[in-house]
Amino acid sequence: MATVEVVTSGRGKFVVEITVGEALIVSDEPASLGGNDLGPAPHELLLAGLGACTAMTLRMYAERKQIPLQSVQVKLDRRKIKAEDCADCVTKEGDVEEMTREITLIGDIDAATRQRMLEIADKCPVHKTLTGEIKIRTTLAGA
């Protein structure tokens, strides 16, 4: 697994360059938040990671089970909702981040298999990470 490095670029107030192995990704904030809109915002990258993992997991499952899956499309969105408006949330006060994921499976796939693939989508590693306990340990370099 490649190390991810994020460095401010000097190309704008919020523009950062993200290096993952040999790949370079630019991230920025939209103009409405003072950025230059030169790339996806951090939350969009998070959604993209979930979508990519979902599509890849479903593709692997389909290949293993010999399901005639031609293509997968994943559309994602996020918003803040009030905890008291969320019947199935653990948090009962304040705001909750809600992500929605709509999956389109292209192929000659019966209803029972489609339902099983919906269950498999929740088993993608990024989904498990986002719904599990997360610890982020931060240090200062050279300290």
What structural domains and CATH numbers belong to the chain? 1-34 (no CATH), 40-131 (3.30.300.20)
Condensed to tens digits (0 to 9), the pLDDT of residues 10-36 reads: 888 999 999 999 999 999 999 999 999
d(CA 28, CA 7): 12
Interaxial angle between packed helices 111-121 and 42-65, expressed in degrees from 0 to 180 and rounded to the nearest 10: 130
Average pLDDT (77-103) is: 91
Q: How confident is the model at residue 143 (pLDDT cuts 50, 70, 90)?
A: low
Cα-Cα-Cα-Cα dihedral of 13, 51, 25, 11, to 10°? -10
pLDDT, residue 62, reads 98
